[in-house]
């Protein structure tokens, strides 16, 4: 039988312990399982060891990431023989180091879950981007907690999607309920038939068009970016885009949109262009849904921007 490993990442005071504790004690997650909880960070909220052990879940503590070795996990297997393992990772530990560690036969990381305090997220982006990148890039499910009306969900979502486009995001309010409010008001007006995307709104527009293509069907859109390259599917297709910093200047993610124009064959990579055209929706097999394609009517070469990187504020 395989032993499933669930890895919980996030900074101190991000809600990891509360999330794990609720998963163990308030659901049937441990029912019929022999569980092992490995804790490498102790914050303000702790575990009731006696309560957790009544649910057939043992707890061990790790104080140094040098303990992440094959021999350590093999010892745990021999001592506890768990069918599932939950690891609460210290926010300052190297996530990649743990994921690269050799594991006993049958042990496998099946899900990475990340918690983030929405109230302090902007500080992480500004001052701890490389550490945040480690926590987010591998995650399958990310929970933003402590959401209130002062926080723009679009800012949270777009910064995360620039790092990890496939992860699922949940927004949770202070009382623990899931925030089901509509997305924040966009910084541009989409009520009309025409939309001129300002340079600082490029990333927000492209990400929203990816998430909600129906909003933009039939609209005439003008935007500016780099010619990234030809599209593999469309004969006259190409990608206009800009880069978003996900970790540092050496580690970036492309944000962009597929366009169509006969001049695609004549464009030069990294050449800055401005395009105007109408959005149509086409089915994309890779993502299993409709995507926006900009059918360009007007294309011209323009000077590059002073700051080419995409922002989401």
The CATH number linked to 96 is 3.40.50.300
pLDDT at 225 exceeding the cut of 80: yes
Final residue of a structural domain among 119, 140, 173: 173
Q: By mean pLDDT, which of 70-84, 86-100, 181-195 is the weakest? A: 181-195
Q: Are residues 12 and 152 in the same domain?
A: yes
- Contact at 8 Å (CB) between 281 and 291? yes
pLDDT of residue 287: 78
For residue range 128-161, what is the model confidence (pLDDT) as tens digits?
A: 888 899 889 999 999 999 998 888 888 898 889 8
Does residue 189 form part of some domain?
no
Domain holding 58, by residue range, is 3-173
Which residue in the block uniquely carries the two structure tokens 């124009």?
261
Copy the structure tokens of residue 224: 């500016």
**Which one of 83-87, 160-164, 166-170 scores highest in mean pLDDT?**
83-87
Q: How confident is the model at residue 96 (pLDDT cuts 50, 70, 90)?
A: very high
Q: Are residues 96 and 20 in the same domain?
A: yes
| pTM, to two decimals | 0.73
User: Residue 281 maps to which CATH number?
Assistant: 2.40.50.140
Domain membership flag for residue 313: no
Q: Tell me the torsion sign for CA atoms 295, 281, 269, 308.
A: positive
- Do 231 and 91 fall within a single domain? no
On whether both 167 and 24 belong to a single domain, the answer is: yes
Q: What is the mean pLDDT of residues 102-116?
A: 95
- pLDDT of 40 strictly over 80: yes
The pLDDT assigned to 110 comes to 94
Task: Please indicate, yes or no, whether residues 63 and 153 belong to a single structural domain of this protein.
Answer: yes
pLDDT beyond 70 at 30:
yes
pLDDT at 42 over 60: yes
């Amino acid at each position: 039988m395989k032993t499933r490993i669930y890895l919980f990442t996030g900074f101190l005071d991000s809600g990891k312990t509360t999330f794990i504790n609720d998963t163990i004690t308030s659901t049937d997650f441990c029912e019929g399982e022999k569980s092992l909880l490995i804790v490498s960070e102790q914050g303000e909220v702790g575990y009731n060891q006696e309560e957790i052990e009544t649910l057939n879940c043992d707890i061990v503590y790790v104080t140094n990431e040098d303990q992440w070795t094959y021999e350590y996990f093999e010892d745990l297997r021999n001592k506890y023989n768990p069918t599932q393992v939950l690891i609460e990772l210290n926010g300052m530990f190297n996530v990649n180091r743990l994921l690269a560690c050799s594991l006993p036969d049958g042990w496998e990381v099946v899900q990475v879950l990340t918690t983030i305090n929405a109230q302090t997220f902007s500080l992480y982006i500004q001052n701890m981007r490389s550490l945040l990148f480690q926590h987010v890039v591998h995650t399958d499910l990310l929970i933003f907690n402590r959401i209130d009306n002062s926080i723009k969900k679009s800012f949270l979502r777009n910064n995360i999607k620039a790092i990890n486009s496939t992860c699922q995001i949940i927004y949770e309010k202070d009382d623990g309920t899931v925030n089901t409010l509509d997305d924040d008001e966009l910084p541009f007006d989409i009520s009309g038939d025409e939309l001129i995307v300002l340079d600082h709104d490029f990333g927000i527009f492209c990400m929203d068009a990816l998430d909600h293509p129906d909003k933009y069907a039939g609209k005439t859109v003008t935007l500016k970016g780099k010619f990234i390259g030809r599209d593999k599917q469309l004969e006259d297709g190409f990608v206009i885009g800009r880069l978003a910093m996900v970790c540092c200047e050496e580690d970036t993610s492309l944000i962009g949109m597929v366009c169509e124009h006969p001049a695609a064959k004549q464009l030069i990579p990294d050449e800055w262009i401005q395009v105007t055209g109408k959005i149509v929706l086409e089915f994309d097999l890779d993502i299993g849904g409709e995507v926006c394609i900009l059918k360009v009517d007007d294309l011209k070469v323009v000077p590059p921007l002073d700051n080419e990187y995409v922002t989401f504020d």
